[in-house]
Amino acid sequence: MSAGYNPFSIKRYCLLILLGIIFICPETLQANPKKPIFAKQKKTIVLDPGHGGHDKGALGSEGAFEKNVTLELARMVAAELENTYRVILTRTDDYFLNIPSRTSMANHAKADLFISIHAGGSFLHQASGITLYFFSEISESVLTPHTDPSKPLGRINHRSPWSDIQNRHQTSSKILAKFLLNCINEQTIFKKSEILGAPLKVLEGADMPAVCLEIGYITNPAEEKSLRDISVLSNIVQGIRNGIDDFFEKVP
C-alpha cells in the first residue's frame, strides 16, 4: 500500500459526490412517467347560426323565424361536439352580427372548419330539401332558382381579393360538403339534397374549409314543421357530427 493512501477518505469523498447529485438533481432518481412531447390539440370548429337580431331571415307560414331555428340547431350541434372538438359559435343569442364579422371570428380562432347554418327560403312553397354550398366564383344566375333573393347571405357581384383565400380551400370545402350531406341524408328523410358552388360572402375570406348549410326550407309548411321538431333536429345534429368526424378521419 503506497504512502498516503487512505481508503476511508476516498469512500467519504465518493459519498459526498453522490449526495450532492441527489440534492441537486432529485428528479433524476424519481419515477417519471413518459409524457408526449406535444399534446394532441382539439380541432376547432366555428358554427355560424345565420341571421339574428333585427335580421330575422326567412319566415315560415306558421311563424317560425329562420334566425331562431339556426341558433337552436347550432347550440345542439355545439353540445354534441364539445367533448371532442373546440367549438365556437359566432353568436350565442338573438343579436345582429354582420357577415364579415362571422368569417373574421373563424380566422381569428384559427378554425379548422367553418359551417354557416341557414334554412332555405323561397316564394315557392313547394321548394324543399337540403343544400350545401361551397364558395365558387360563379355568376348569380346559376344559383338555385328557389333561393329567396331577399335572403341576406350576401352574394359577390365583383371579384374581391378575399376570394383567393377561400379558393385555396375549395377542394376541401367540397369534400366537407359531401361528407355532411351524405351523413345528414342517412339520418333524415328530406326528399331532395344537393351541393352547389356559389359566391356567398359568408364563405368568402374564410381561411379554412367552409360551407353554408341550408337545412330544409322554412317556407315549406311541411319542412317548417320538421325544423320545429326536436327529434328531427337531433337527427340532423347526428348527421352533422358524423360528417365532421368522417372529414377529419379521411382528409389529412
What class does CATH assign to 44-250?
A: alpha beta
The pLDDT score that the predictor gives to residue 12 is 62
The pLDDT score that the predictor gives to residue 148 is 44
Arithmetic mean of pLDDT over the chain? 84
The pLDDT score that the predictor gives to residue 145 is 40
Could you give the CA distance from residue 233 to residue 184 in angstroms, rounded to a whole number?
A: 11
**Which CA distances in Å does 224 have to 40, 49, 81, 116, 131?**
41, 17, 25, 19, 15
- The model's pTM: 0.79
The pLDDT score that the predictor gives to residue 55 is 98
The pLDDT score that the predictor gives to residue 152 is 41
Could you give the CA distance from residue 9 to residue 148 in angstroms, rounded to a whole number?
A: 95
pLDDT digits (tens, 9 = 90+) for 27-38: 444 444 444 444
C-alpha cell at 12: 467519504
User: What DSSP element (H or E) covers 103?
Assistant: helix 99-108
The pLDDT of 11-26, averaged and rounded, is 56
The one-letter amino acid at 54 = H
pLDDT > 70: percent of the chain: 74
pLDDT-based confidence at residue 151 (cuts at 50, 70, 90): very low
The pLDDT score that the predictor gives to residue 134 is 96
pLDDT exceeds cutoff 90 at 176: yes
The pLDDT score that the predictor gives to residue 31 is 47
- Tell which wins on pLDDT, 158 or 92: 92
Task: Provide the Cα torsion 49, 51, 53, 56; round to 10°.
Answer: -120
Q: Are 94 and 65 in contact (CB under 8 A)?
A: no
Could you give the CA distance from residue 124 to residue 62 in angstroms, rounded to a whole number?
A: 15
pLDDT digits (tens, 9 = 90+) for 198-214: 999 999 999 999 999 99
Structural domain boundaries of the chain?
44-250
H-assigned helices in 154-220: 163-167, 170-187
The pLDDT score that the predictor gives to residue 6 is 57
Dihedrals phi, psi of 155, to nearest 5 degrees: -120, 145
pLDDT exceeds cutoff 60 at 144: no
